[in-house]
């Protein structure tokens, strides 16, 4: 049980860290989005690099935000039915639907690694006037999918514990 608590605590810590990184990326996107609009429409001097870096930051934000949201149970569910389920039925429903999640993550990790390795091999850059490396972003996508897989495994074990004991071992945020 100590190993489980350590695993659960580690996954929660990583997800929380990714959430904070997402928060910083959101501030970056907001600030430079406003700066880009100001430069383009007020000073009539568009930036060559801001829009590209904001797009890359949004990809990173989606990766870290997805992990954080899934760990915090913040993803949208069909609450019309789900909210009225008992904890046991919710756990069973989650275990049935997690099969699709695992299949999706397997494809993202598999194809994401292929794309990342190819991007590194080609030293891929953005096709803009200010070339920015693409491979860090492509490397991060499968890494985030692996972290998401760790969160999914944690949720699977929690659901199994609920099915067996009818109670959660520990909430994410107390």
- Measure the N-to-C terminal CA separation of the chain; round to a whole number of Å: 20
pLDDT tens, position by position, 58-114: 999 999 999 999 999 888 776 777 778 888 888 888 888 899 999 999 999 999 999
* Average pLDDT over every residue of 159-170: 75
- Give the residue from 23, 18, 8 showing the smallest Cα distance to 151: 8
Instruction: Report in angstroms the alpha-carbon separations of 154 from 72, 95, 158, 165, 167.
Output: 12, 12, 6, 16, 15
Contact at 8 Å (CB) between 152 and 102? yes
pLDDT tens, position by position, 24-74: 999 999 999 999 999 999 999 989 899 999 999 999 999 999 999 999 988
* Average pLDDT over every residue of 149-164: 93
pLDDT level of residue 174 (50, 70, 90 thresholds): very low
Rounded CA gap, 27 and 29, in Å? 5
- Structure confidence at residue 167 (pLDDT): 55
Residues in the chain: 174
pLDDT level of residue 171 (50, 70, 90 thresholds): low
pLDDT level of residue 168 (50, 70, 90 thresholds): low
- Structure confidence at residue 173 (pLDDT): 40
pLDDT tens, position by position, 115-127: 999 999 999 999 8
Which of residues 151 and 85 earns the better pLDDT score? 151
Angle between helices 50-71 and 135-165 (to 10 degrees): 10
Longest alpha-carbon distance in the chain: 64
Instruction: Report in angstroms the alpha-carbon separations of 6 from 12, 16, 107.
Output: 10, 15, 28
- Structure confidence at residue 3 (pLDDT): 92
- Structure confidence at residue 110 (pLDDT): 98
């Amino acid at each position: 049980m100590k190993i489980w608590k350590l695993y659960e605590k580690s996954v929660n810590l990583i997800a929380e860290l990714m959430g904070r990184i997402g928060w910083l990326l959101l501030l970056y996107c907001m600030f430079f989005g406003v700066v880009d609009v100001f430069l383009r429409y007020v000073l009539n001097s568009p930036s060559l690099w801001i829009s590209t870096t904001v797009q890359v930051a949004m990809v990173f934000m989606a990766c870290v935000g997805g992990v954080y949201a899934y760990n915090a149970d913040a993803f949208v569910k069909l609450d019309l039915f789900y909210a009225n389920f008992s904890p046991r039925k919710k756990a069973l429903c989650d275990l049935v639907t997690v099969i699709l999640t695992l299949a999706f993550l397997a494809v993202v990790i598999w194809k994401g690694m292929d794309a990342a390795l190819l991007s590194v091999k080609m030293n891929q850059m953005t096709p803009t006037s200010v070339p920015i490396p693409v491979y860090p972003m492509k490397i991060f996508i499968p890494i985030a999918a692996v972290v998401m897989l760790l969160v999914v495994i944690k949720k699977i074990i929690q659901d199994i514990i609920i099915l067996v004991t009818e109670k959660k071992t520990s909430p994410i945020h107390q």
